[in-house]
Structure 1
Amino acid sequence: MKKKSKFLNRILTLSTALALAGTVSGSFSAVAVNAAEEVQQPQTTATATKDDEQKMVPVTPATDESSNKQDDKQPVVPEKEEPAAPVNKKVKTFKVSIVKKDYGIYQGNFEKKQSSTKYFHKTFNVNKSFTRNGKKYYWINKKGKPAIGYINKNAVATTSQSKVLNVPYVSQYVPVKTPWGCAGASMSMLLGFQGQKITADFLKQVQNHLPMQPTKGGQKGNVYTGEGFGYVISPGALAKYARTYENGKNIVNVSSKKLTVDDLRMYVQGGKPVLYYGFSSYQKPGDNVRNHCKVITGYKNGKFLVFDPLYYSKNDGAGTGGKNMNYDHGAIAWLSKATVQQEFCHKAITFK
């Protein structure tokens, strides 16, 4: 019995061991299967993501254009490094005068150094030109002196440069008859240049409110009848009066002993008509008072285009006025510099 019991015990022990081995083996198999599933899981996820991306619009890689836009915001060139200066082009030396204010004058790599206002109506030499961003510039200087810099060619003019301005002719006889109203008629031409509509009512308003004595600088004598006439309104008072009109806000008195006929030319070349004081076709021998206003509206071939209001029509020619043929040139006439110089008395008004 004892031997049988021992034998049975060995069999039970062996069975238990086998059972346990089977259990462990099953556990290892389960772990192995789970591990395999975990290994496969990322592949399943990646496949799903790829499929999702295929449904979405693909992201386009950066092109050269987008790279350039990025470069604009964050330039490759360090901020402190200056851009390359424009290439000089030498030209045969010629002279120009600065005829416009508030233009920049540049040096170096186009840093703005100063304003053209400082050199307004000054004359310089040009021996180099530049083209930058489609604009042409001149290098201006004076012989033996430090160069001023380069300036836009639109701010300067040569001595012979032509310019004709769109100024309406205004008569002091028609449609409103004011034989002594040359100042008001000439001032109206300046306002018309700025867009003022010239009508009979407007001209009456101008003449009826023209400053008269005892107002400082006011005219002496009735513009309609000439009663008590002594002299026309002064340029300072006329400019002040012009500024009371919306289209005359920028009219100024430029009268000065230093004012020259060349200055008149340069004002016109800069796009500004000039009202100046001179002689009339009714000038009497021995009368040297410049009591007549007229307007320079152009310059060409060394001559000035002058609008004289002392005529009934813009078509009236020479000899149809007061018959003093030294000054009876007609309503609209091209006059030589010498002719204008003969009557010029340094009195004028124009635009800023």
Structure 2
Amino acid sequence: MEKKNVFKKIIILGTALVLGLSASTASVVKADTNNSGAAGTQQVLPQAQKVKTFQVAIVKKNYGIYQGFFASKKTSQDYFHQTFNVNRTFTYNGKKYYWINKKGSPAIGYLNKNAVATPNQAKLVDTPYVSQYAPVKAPWGCAGAAMAMLLGSQGQKITTGLLQNIQNHLPMQPTKGGQKGNVYTGIGFGYVISPGALAKYARTYPQGKNIINVSSKKLTVNDLKMYVQGGKPVLYYGFSSYQKAGDNQRNHCKVITGYKQGKFLVYDPLYYSRNDGAGTGGKNMKYDHGAIAWVAKATIQKEFCHKALTIK
């Protein structure tokens, strides 16, 4: 009996010591599908290394955030597009992890490096360029052409038949949020389809099931950057190269497919060919950048109206 009691006390003491280890030391962790090997296995993490503090933003939603022995699991979605400091890292199973915290506060946990981006991290998103003039000529069909680019980023093959179908069935007034005016002739044109109606329409296509409307007064150009850094193209509402002085209506849809050194890679459907350069559109040189162009953040900011679609 005495031996059993001794062993029992040793087990209890050992458990208490293990649970008392700090998060910066080696710890036991249950595998997560986004983080490591087979679920349910027990592994030992290496000791976290201190690094010079740098900032990151969480740009992906489907990663776990852990503390201690992973007993408290959160999700990166809870902190999506928030900025944190990193001052400790470790590598486990060939993948790098960051401890994230707000200045002056304890770390909220650690997560896979792939879930975050540094403030000026460059990113290009594979997206096809689609014109609203060729092969289907729809001079007032920018929304449909831009939507097709989002579909293409999700694997949709862009064909003449697809573009005709998109333009022919684009929701129109009096449908709620529908476009006012014919996409082919412009007869009766007043405004393009609303972001909510366009996202709903996009989801009627198989490759569009994850397209969402993220329009909000709180949406910022920095959010657009972080969506792109997370690997998602962004369709946004802005000005066209035909914009007239005094006209402040954002009646044109374009797609952001990249970010680099303070500039956004913008695909503008208002050109016949992806090779059309600046000045080949409506001649308003504030916005006549060409079919594919790197556009300064400040320029995007001037036309931004908090209306956008992206991929969830």
Report TM bin, short chain.
0.7 to 0.9
Matched, 1:145 2:116: no
Matched, 1:192 2:152: yes
For residue 309 of structure 1, what is the aligned residue in structure 2? 269
Q: Which structure features the higher share of helix residues?
A: 1
Unmatched runs of 5 consecutive residues or more in structure 2: 1-13, 20-27, 29-43
Shift of 1:133: 1.3
Q: Percent of pairs identical after alignment?
A: 77
For residue 328 of structure 1, what is the aligned residue in structure 2? 288
Preserved contact between residue 211 and residue 233 of structure 1 (Cα < 8 Å): yes
1:1-352 matched pairs, under 5 angstroms: 83=28, 85-352=45-312
Preserved contact between residue 45 and residue 92 of structure 2 (Cα < 8 Å): no
Q: Tell me, what secondary structure is at the counterpart of 1:213?
A: coil
Shift of 1:168: 0.3
Q: Tell me, what secondary structure is at the counterpart of 1:252?
A: strand
Unmatched runs of 5 consecutive residues or more in structure 1: 1-77
Letter in 2 for 1:234: S
Q: Could you give the per-residue CA deviations for residues 236-289 of structure 1, whole angstroms, max 9, x where no partner exists?
A: 000000000000000010000000000000000001000000000000000000
Q: Could you give the per-residue CA deviations for residues 286-321 of structure 1, whole angstroms, max 9, x where no partner exists?
A: 000000000000011111000000000000000000
Q: 1: CA distance between counterparts of 2:305 and 2:55?
A: 27
Q: 2: CA distance between counterparts of 1:340 and 1:312?
A: 22
Letter in 2 for 1:301: Q
Q: Tell me, what secondary structure is at the counterpart of 2:51?
A: strand
Preserved contact between residue 100 and residue 270 of structure 1 (Cα < 8 Å): yes
Preserved contact between residue 140 and residue 185 of structure 2 (Cα < 8 Å): yes
Q: Could you give the per-residue CA deviations for residues 310-347 of structure 1, whole angstroms, max 9, x where no partner exists?
A: 00000000000000000000000001110100100000
Q: Tell me, what secondary structure is at the counterpart of 1:240?
A: helix
Quick one: structure 1 residues 343 and 335, their matched pair in 2 at CA, closer, same or farther if it must change by over 3 Å? same
Shift of 1:85: 4.9
Q: 1: CA distance between counterparts of 2:58 and 2:92?
A: 20
Q: Tell me, what secondary structure is at the counterpart of 1:295?
A: strand
Q: 2: CA distance between counterparts of 1:87 and 1:190?
A: 42
Runs of 4+ in 1 over 2 A off after TM superposition: 78-86, 109-112
Preserved contact between residue 199 and residue 211 of structure 2 (Cα < 8 Å): yes
Q: 1: CA distance between counterparts of 2:206 and 2:258?
A: 24
Q: Could you give the per-residue CA deviations for residues 32-81 of structure 1, whole angstroms, max 9, x where no partner exists?
A: xxxxxxxxxxxxxxxxxxxxxxxxxxxxxxxxxxxxxxxxxxxxxx9996
Preserved contact between residue 85 and residue 108 of structure 1 (Cα < 8 Å): no
TM-score, normalized by length of structure 1? 0.76
Preserved contact between residue 239 and residue 251 of structure 1 (Cα < 8 Å): yes
Q: Which structure features the higher share of strand residues?
A: 2
Letter in 1 for 2:220: T
Shift of 1:109: 2.8
Shift of 1:86: 3.1
Q: 1: CA distance between counterparts of 2:286 and 2:270?
A: 15
Shift of 1:145: 2.0
TM-score, normalized by length of structure 2? 0.86
How many aligned residue pairs are there? 275
Q: Could you give the per-residue CA deviations for residues 212-237 of structure 1, whole angstroms, max 9, x where no partner exists?
A: 00000000000000000000000000
Preserved contact between residue 85 and residue 110 of structure 1 (Cα < 8 Å): no
Taking only aligned residues, the RMSD between alpha carbons, in angstroms, comes to 1.4
Which one has a bigger Cα radius of gyration? 1
Shift of 1:110: 3.7
Shift of 1:132: 1.1
